Amino acid sequence: MLRGRILENKLSSLYKAGKIVGGVYLGRGQEAVSATLGTALIQGTDFFAPLIRDQAGRTAFGEPLIDCTRTYLGSVKGPMRGRDGNIHRGRPDLGMPAMISHLGAQVSVVAGMLFAKRLQGTLAGRVGATCIGDGATSTGAFHEGLNLAAIERLPLVVVVANNQFAYSTPNDRQFACADLVEKARGYGVGGFSVDGTDMLACVSVIGEAVRRAREGGGPQMVVARLLRLSGHGEHDDGSYVPAEARVDHYGQDCIEVAMQQLIENHFATAEEIVAWQDQIADEVQRAVAQAQQEPVPDPYQEDWTALSTRFPLDQPISQPIFS
């Protein structure tokens, strides 16, 4: 959680300093949900398709910080080599597909990864998970993907972070059911609700959903309620979020709640937490510095082909490079 927050604070400053091209999208306020899911999964066995606000979950699942800074800063050494940026990154060979922007589209992809494992006879004990926003539950892709997973009874966990807004659009313009978790019943999948600002609640509820899926209970849907504590992206001040929502229970900062929980339950002392913060700030600084020193992509070095197959007779239309 802390790694996600501290890294993203750094990304925000880099963006404001004009050091990042394109958008920066933060998971501020959603770290408890995301990190809990990432922690409940086992890299090497499970699959995780993170979305826009899952820096914390990515890190918890095992993505090194350098993958993030390289992708945001356009290093050729990053997993996307400057061909895609920011949150649109992944390591599909390590069970973490690279999201496309189109919302809802990852649900069926994770279902397919699990389906492959069933065909290969190695599904037992595995889980696939993806996160999604309240807005993305309105897409056809979400519906098709979850329904397909339910038919196949795949061990898929879909965590819906209901942060009350999709960009600027509030829940009441997005869906008409009283609570999104009601949809789980319609799909024939397990349904859970959790206070997304409460880390310990997330650990127990999301952990339980993952456990049920792992044990053969079919798809599970968790709806976490919280508030996005940033704009949609760093270009957006989120001024449309009413003041009441910010002071409401769900407007509380999950990181502060988590720190209190750690201290109250004697999992850590305040001093230890401060030491973690210092250590993480240092790690982040190093990941940024390293990515900044690395080469950016060179249009002359690119092969400019989107296919892995080379067709001997294919002569692509030649185009000079001006840069």
Partner 1 sequence: MSVTYIDAIREAQEKLLREDDRVFLYGQDIATFGGAFKATKGLAEKFPNRVFDAPISEDAMIGMAVGAAIEGMRPIIEMQFADFSSVAFNQIVNQAATHFYRTGMPIPLTVRLPSGGTPGSGPFHSQSMEGIYAQYPGLVVLTPATVSDAYHMLLDGVALDDPVIYCEHKFLYRWLKAKSINGDHLPIGQARITRPGKHATVVAYSAMVHEAVRAADRLVQDGWEIEVVDLRSVKPLDIDTILASVARTGRLLAVGEAFPWGGVTAEVVARVTEEGFHLLDAPPQRLNARDTPVPYHPKLWAAHRPTPESICEALRKLLSF
Ligand X SMILES: Cc1ncc(C[n+]2csc(CCOP(=O)(O)OP(=O)(O)O)c2C)c(N)n1
Beta bridge partners of 43: 46
What distance in Å separates the CA atoms of residue 186 and residue 180, rounded to the nearest whole number?
11
Cβ contact 47:99 at 8 Å: no
Considering the rule CB under 6 A, would residue 167 count as an interface residue with ligand X? yes
User: What character string, x for contact with ligand X (CB under 6 A) and - otherwise, covers 114-143?
Assistant: -------------------xxxx--x----
- Given candidates 24, 73, 103, 149, which one binds ligand X under the rule CB under 6 A? 103
What distance in Å separates the CA atoms of residue 56 and residue 36, rounded to the nearest whole number?
9
Of the ranges 68-76, 100-108, 180-188, 304-312, which one interacts with ligand X (CB under 6 A)? Answer: 100-108
Of the ranges 54-62, 112-120, 213-221, 270-278, which one interacts with partner 1 (CB under 8 A)? Answer: 112-120
Residue 103 binds: one of ligand X, partner 1, none (C-beta under 5 to 8 A by kind): ligand X
Q: Which two tokens stand for residue 10?
A: 């750094």
Beta bridge partners of 262: none
- Given candidates 29, 74, 79, 218, which one binds partner 1 under the rule CB under 8 A? 79
User: What character string, x for contact with ligand X (CB under 6 A) and - otherwise, covers 42-81?
Assistant: ----------xx----------------------------
Considering the rule CB under 8 A, would residue 90 count as an interface residue with partner 1? yes
Of the ranges 66-74, 96-104, 200-208, 282-290, which one interacts with ligand X (CB under 6 A)? Answer: 96-104
- Given candidates 15, 115, 142, 165, which one binds ligand X under the rule CB under 6 A? 165
Considering the rule CB under 8 A, would residue 309 count as an interface residue with partner 1? yes
Count of residues that interact with partner 1, criterion CB under 8 A: 48
- Given candidates 93, 101, 239, 264, which one binds ligand X under the rule CB under 6 A? 101
CB of 152 to ligand X, least distance (A): 24
Q: At what angle do helices 2-16 and 31-40 cross, to 10 degrees?
A: 130
Considering the rule CB under 6 A, would residue 228 count as an interface residue with ligand X? yes
CB of 104 to ligand X, least distance (A): 7
Considering the rule CB under 8 A, would residue 80 count as an interface residue with partner 1? yes
Beta bridge partners of 223: 160, 193
- Given candidates 21, 124, 125, 151, which one binds partner 1 under the rule CB under 8 A? 151
* Dihedral over Cα of 109, 217, 63, 35: its sign: positive
Residue 165 binds: one of ligand X, partner 1, none (C-beta under 5 to 8 A by kind): ligand X
Residue 98 binds: one of ligand X, partner 1, none (C-beta under 5 to 8 A by kind): partner 1
CB of 278 to ligand X, least distance (A): 30
- Given candidates 42, 141, 200, 273, which one binds partner 1 under the rule CB under 8 A? 141
The residues, ordered by sequence, that sit 6+ positions from 291 with a Cβ below 8 Å of its Cβ are: 66, 69, 70, 72, 73, 75, 77, 78
- Given candidates 38, 50, 135, 145, which one binds partner 1 under the rule CB under 8 A? 145
Half-sphere CA count of 21, side-chain side, radius 13 A: 8
Q: Which residues bind ligand X (CB under 6 A)?
A: 52-53, 101-103, 133-136, 139, 161, 163, 165-167, 228, 232
